[in-house]
Amino acid sequence: MITRMRCQMCQKRHGTSFTVPTEMWQAVMLEKYWWGEICLECFIAEADEKLVRWCEVIKIHSLSLVVHLERAGVLKKTVDHNIV
Ligand SMILES: [Zn+2]
């Protein structure tokens, strides 16, 4: 089955990943989510609830489904259909 990663909080599939410093991640998220997949929207909601300045350090990475599947080894590298 072709799928994207699913957020462990809201259960939605998402195509945007992000990174924040470990200290911020652990301060914002409950420990049960520290090693889980969490979407950007859920992280922002949790961080804003705690008045964390996430915007100054967050790095956002968009990820199309085809690239996600290539990296996961599900698909071989395909022809690039991007129009530039
Ligand atoms: Zn979510």
- Whether the Cβ atoms of residue 47 and residue 28 lie closer than 8 Å to each other: yes
Cα(8) to centroid(ligand 1), Å = 7
The pLDDT of residue 78 is above 90:
no
Q: Give me the pLDDT at residue 79, please.
A: 64
Give the residue carrying structure tokens 């961080």. 47
- Residue that the structure tokens 């939605």 belong to: 12
84 C-alpha vs ligand 1 centroid, how far in Å? Answer: 31
Domain residue spans of the chain: 1-84
Q: How far is CA 28 from the centre of its chain?
A: 15
State the pLDDT at residue 17: 85
* 79 CA → ligand 1 middle, Å: 31
Does 84 score more than 60 pLDDT?
no
Give residue 51 CA to ligand 1 midpoint distance, Å: 18
Structure tokens at 17: 């990943």
What would the pLDDT profile of 2-50 be if each residue is shown by its tens digit? 567 889 999 998 888 899 999 999 999 999 999 988 999 999 999 999 9
pLDDT at 8: 95
pLDDT digits (tens, 9 = 90+) for 37-73: 899 999 999 999 999 999 999 999 888 888 888 888 8
